[in-house]
Amino acid sequence: MRLARLLAAATLAFGLTACASSDDTDSDAGSSSDGAFPVTVEHAYGTTEVPSEPKRVATVAWSNQDTALALGVVPVGMPKVTYGDDDTDGLHPWVKDKLDELGGETPVLFDETDGIDAAAVAKSEPDLILAPNSGLTKEEYETLSKIAPTIAFPDKAWGTTWRQALELTGEALGKSDEAEKLIADLEKQIDDATAERPEIKGKTAVMSWIDPSDLSKVGYYTAYDTRAQFLNDLGFETPEFVESSKDSDQFFLEISAEKADELNGADVFVGYGDDAALKKVQADPLLGKVTAFQRGSAALLKDNTPLAAAVSPSALSIPWMLDDYVTLLADAAAKVK
C-alpha cells in the first residue's frame, strides 16, 4: 500500500480497451418512457433539448454509465475504468452485474486517460451524451454538443450528488418517475443499513487525504464533494472546518500540520491506507496529537479496490458497497467515547 494514499479518497483514473463495436451495439432504452419528448434539461452550461427518446446513449466521465444502467439503459459507449477495477476488464463489478441482469453486451470503452476522447464518442454514434457527474469544461461541452445533445453537471464540477445524477439522467431519458422511485428505494436501503449500526449517529466525519511522506499538511474533501456528502447520507455530521468550505469552488483543501488542532472537529477520518500507515501518522509530533488519530478512529479503505471506487456513490455502487462501508465506518465510530 502506498503511504501517500493514507486517508485519501479515490483518484479517478481511466484507461482504454475497446470491447465492442458501435455498429452493432444499441442502447437498451427499456420498455417504458414516462416522459413525453422533446424534453429540456437545465445544467451548468445552459439547457439541452432531447428531441426524441434516446436509442443510442453514450456516457463520459465518472459513474454516469452507472446511472443510465440503473434506469435500464445500456450505453453504446462509456469510459473504461482503471481505478477499482479488480480484474482489468474496464468494468466495476456492479456495472458488470447490471449488464448481465439487463442482458446487454459490454459497450465500447473510451480512453479517458488524457481527458474526454471526443473522437471515440463520435464514433459510437450517440443520440445523447450523459455527463451529469463530471468536470466538463465549457470547451469540452461545446465539442460534445456538436456530436449529440449533451447533459453537463447541474452546478459545480464534480459536485453532482447521486440523487441529482438520477434526476438529470431521468429527465433526459424520459424516465423521471423511475428515477424518483429509485431514489426512494436507495434512501430506504441506506436507512435500513444505518439503523443496524447506531454508533454512527451524531458523530462527525471527514473524507481526508494525508501523505505520510509529507506530514506538513492534511488534505480534506470539501462539503460539496460527493464522498463527503454521502457521509451525511449515512448519518454522520459535518465537522466545522469542513462545513466552512461549503461555499468554496474547490472540492479539495488543505490544513497545515501546525493547525492540526482544527482537525479535532472530526470524530472519524475516512480514507485510504492500512494500519502501518496510520501508525506513522500517530507517531508524528503534530498530527499524532489529533484525537481521532490517537484513538485510531479511522475508516481505512484498501487503495485501488472496488470498494475504494464505490464510495464515490452512484445508483449502482451504493447497494453494492453499502453493508461493507457502513460496517467499516461504524467500527471506527464505535471507538469514539
Q: What are phi and psi of 11, to 5 degrees?
A: -85, 120
Judgement on whether residues 59 and 208 belong to the same structural domain of the protein: no
Based on the fold, state whether residues 21 and 169 are members of the same structural domain: yes
241 and 176 within one domain:
no
Same domain? 181 vs 50: yes
Range of the structural domain that residue 245 is part of:
3-9+198-333
Residues 91 and 126 in one domain: yes
User: Is pTM beyond 0.85 here?
Assistant: yes
| One domain for residues 255 and 186 | no
Asked whether the beta carbons of 36 and 102 are under 8 A apart, the reply is no
Distant-in-sequence, close-in-space partners of 8: CB < 8 Å, separation ≥ 6:
208, 209, 210, 211, 219, 271, 272, 273, 303
**337 residues of the chain, pLDDT tens digit each:** 333 344 443 344 333 233 333 334 444 444 345 658 999 999 999 999 999 999 999 999 999 999 999 999 999 999 999 999 999 999 999 999 999 999 999 999 999 999 999 999 999 999 999 999 999 999 999 999 999 999 999 999 999 999 999 999 999 999 999 999 999 999 999 999 999 999 999 999 999 988 888 999 999 999 989 999 999 999 999 999 999 887 788 889 999 999 999 999 999 999 888 888 899 999 999 999 999 999 999 999 998 999 999 999 999 999 999 999 999 999 999 999 8
* pLDDT score, position 20: 33
Give the CATH number of the domain where residue 18 resides: 3.40.50.1980
The total of structural domains in the chain comes to 2
**Statement to judge: residues 166 and 223 lie in one domain:** no
pLDDT for 247 equals 79
Domain stop point among 156, 190, 224: 190
- Rounded Cα distance, 146 and 207, in Å: 37
Clarify whether residues 186 and 203 are in a common domain: no
The domain boundary residue, chosen from 168, 190, 212: 190
Task: Dump pLDDT digits (tens) for 143-152.
Answer: 999 999 999 9
* 3-class secondary structure, 43: strand
Rounded CA separation 294/126 (Å): 53
**Cis link prior to 38 (omega < 30° from 0)?**
yes
Cα–Cα distance measured from residue 297 to residue 300, given in angstroms and rounded to the nearest whole number: 9
26 and 146 fall within a common domain = yes
Element (H, E) at 293: helix 291-295
- At residue 12, the pLDDT reads 41
Residues 60 and 186 placed together within one structural domain of the fold: yes
Same domain, 186 and 205: no
pLDDT at residue 303, as a whole number: 87
Q: Are residues 248 and 213 in the same domain?
A: yes
Among 137, 172, 190, the domain-final residue is: 190
